[in-house]
Structure 1
Amino acid sequence: MLKLPLFGRFILGLNTARFASTLAILGGAGVPLLRALEAARQTLSNDRLSLSVTEATAKVREGVNLAAALRVENVFPPVLIHLIASGEKTGSLPPMLERAAQTLSRDIERRAMGMTALLEPLMIVVMGGVVLVIVMAVLLPIIEINQLVQ
């Protein structure tokens, strides 16, 4: 699903925004990172992303920092990984995760607007085709009757 031309990036953005937001809320509430990762993993609707978070959680449990663990999986957007790395270095991971979630949410909204903008001309063409079929269904019998009379 993630490799589909239009919908893949949309699905990735939607899932990573939800993941970052959940992780930010749980981290801000004082939940330990490993538990927060497990809870945030359950919000993901894509199996590939869920598996990546599971593997990243195992690496974090071994002592690797979160940004490096997610970077190795090569699935998550670079903006998320960079903001997580920045949050880890400055000791302010939850605010950076919230910023990542907001950035990814804005990106999703922009993509959704772009997709609807692409669908509008397509809908006009489809409606034109429907009108053409209706007009032809009305005119063809009239033309046939006219030819029979002559």
Structure 2
Amino acid sequence: MKKIFLGLLFLLSLMGCTNSMIGKNENLVGKQYALVQQVEAKDYQITLNFAENNFFGFAGVNNYFGKYEIQDKKITFGAIGRTMMAGPQEIMKVEDDFLSKIEKAVSYEISKEGLILTTDKGEKLIFKLIETPKK
């Protein structure tokens, strides 16, 4: 099941990429971020990755993915799909909360150290830039 999902995720990423990375979201494309505010998380790391028009990552138990749009400093995340694996209740709650906040993100800031997403209620999701694992 994991191999099928990863294959589909790879295909979605390829479909969303173009030969030229020129565009308003070029500052996000190809970068991987890890959520900093994970107080509850000790054994896993919530990640957020960006392709040309797609986002994807790991939320604690499940992988997630979807499309996003950028206009000026505003960001809009589309419907979020995710794998349907079950895990410990406390991790599933953290995952649900995180994905709910991502859907409500309305603006972003990029720095050399990371990314800050701000929701429609002013909540901030702070991410640090991490290296993409080499295969």
- Structure with greater strand share of residues: 2
Q: TM-score, normalised by structure 1?
A: 0.28
Higher relative contact order (CA 8 A, sep 6+): 1
| Structure with larger Rg | 1
- Structure with greater helix share of residues: 1
Q: TM-score, normalised by structure 2?
A: 0.30
